[in-house]
Structure 1
Amino acid sequence: MSQNNLSKPTRLNRPDDHLPLDFPKLNPVTAVADFEQSKIEEKQIRYNPSTWEVSRDYSRIHLLEAKHLQYKKMLLLDKFRETAVQKRKDFDKQWAQVEKDEENFKLNFRRYNRFIRENNEKRDRAEKKIADEIELQNKRTLDISLMKEHYLYISNVKNMMEKRLKEHKMYEDYLQVVVKSSQSYKNLNELLYRYESLIETKDVLSEKQHLSLIALELARANMMKLIEDKSLVLVGLQNQLASLQERYDLAYAKSLQWESNVSKIQDICTHESTRAYLVKNSIDDTYVAMCRRKCIEPSLPAADFEGKLVFINKTLGDLENVIAKMKNSKREKKPPGQ
């Protein structure tokens, strides 16, 4: 197994499998002839494997064989790594070129976008300017038509004024004659100024007269309103005076009635006070007399009439009891036949 592998390397063991193919530019006839000659020479050469390449049944031999195979694989791996590094460099260059192209594309896209935006803005400005120009043309056309109409109107007014001037030329001639015949005016303008001043003075006087009439009418209206208001006030005051007079008469009659009642009450009070005075004197005399009859000194105050009345009533009650006892005793002493 190992001998066959060493003598005839496979496609995977070839170091040039993953390298870029570079075909030489040769004559096809010469190349085919060289190929056939190499095949013939290869058949004539006898392949003698070396001692180290012969497979043996020893573990050391297998280890050496494995190391030898590992060495070949490491060489192939180094070539692959170099190829990968070279490819990585080429890929990095291509990637850098792609990034550069991308940046250029972005820059060109921004420029193109700015260019498109500027073109749009220019087109918008141009369209706006065209619209403004069209609007201005329409406005100028309208102004021209209005000016033409105004010109026609002014022309008509001019013709009419010239016609009126011709019609009033005789009045101007008359005024010129008046100025020449009068020494107060030097020319026609002074006469016209005088006329205008008189008209203005007349207007001022008319305005003042109108204002005076308005003020007079306003004063008259205010006076009438004041008279009407005062008349209403006087009517109200008269009604109030009549009501007050009626109330006064009623109050005077009631006052006379109350005065008579007061005089009657005063008479009654005088009579009652006299009676009370007499009663008090009687009570005092009776109390003093009863005290003398009982041979006691009067002990009650002079103003204590209630106590005196109580004493008198008590004394009268005692007297009635005594009289009743005396009557009973007389009845008992009287014989039964009498």
Structure 2
Amino acid sequence: MKKVSKDLAPIALPHGPPVESVSEYYKSLMESARMVKKYPVWDVARPTPQVLMEQARRDLMEADEKLAHKREEERINRQTMNAKWQDLRDKEMLLKDSFISFNKFIRENQEKRERAQRKMEADLEVLERKSRETDAMRQRVTEMEEVRELMEKQVKDYTVYEDYLMSVVHNYPEFKQPLDVLNRYEALAAAKNTLADRQERDLEMLESARQEIAALTEEKKLFIMGLNNTLADLRWRYDQVRNRVIKWELALNRLEETAARRRAELCHVRAAVYALYEKISRQKGLPLDAPRADFEQQLVVVMRALLELRRIHRIAQRRSKEKYVLEGRCVTFLRSTV
């Protein structure tokens, strides 16, 4: 006959419709969730140093993996940013070169326009001067024709003066004949011609001086144009030198920023070393003999402390292994005796 085991916790079926038992069901679920679950003592993991060390090693490996992943991301981001910065620098240099070439092109066009303008003005002045001279010559020819007509008319009209000269010779005894009157007139005319020649020479000297002044002015204009070309060349060289100076100033600023950042990192590292040295010295009860600026001696103390901790860690690890082996042997012995 088969033995029927008695159910120590039989299932109690609710009486009544199921809808009315839903609230009781959810209430029991919430109470069971709030109940403290206790496990047997033998199911709880013993916090041995080896387990803690393995857990710490696992956490360290996970942290190293995350750190390596972050470093790889940082390296990729840094390469991307460096490529973008290099692209921006290339575009900046290309823009500077285009500005320089465009400025040079505009300056050359301006100089050519100014030279053409000056040449056009000089040609217009020469044309106006020649036109004025032509008009003056035409006016003079017209005047000379008028004078010729007037002289011919006067010759016809002044024949009466011959009779007058004869009357003068008869009336004035110093003139023996009309030829003396004419000689006197010729002498006065010669004096007038002499004065006219002197005046003509003076006018010629004045004209030669004016021509020399014009030649000197033209020579000075050419000299000034040469100086302007030299000045334009010097300005272009100045622009090139200024661009190079700006480039090296930017490089110097970047170097100064890098040096300042490295200096700040060095200051932080020194402060951390000094804080670690001070903490280790206080924990060991050692005096603070090393000056604050002597970080090499501080690093020696910190390295010694780290070596001591490493040695202690090795001893603890060896002892934990020995303890684990001893416990294993004890368990084996107990099992063999049982």
Fold agreement, TM-score > 0.5: no
Higher relative CO (Cα under 8 Å, sequence separation at least 6) belongs to: 2
Q: TM-score, normalised by structure 1?
A: 0.39
Largest Rg, 1 or 2: 1
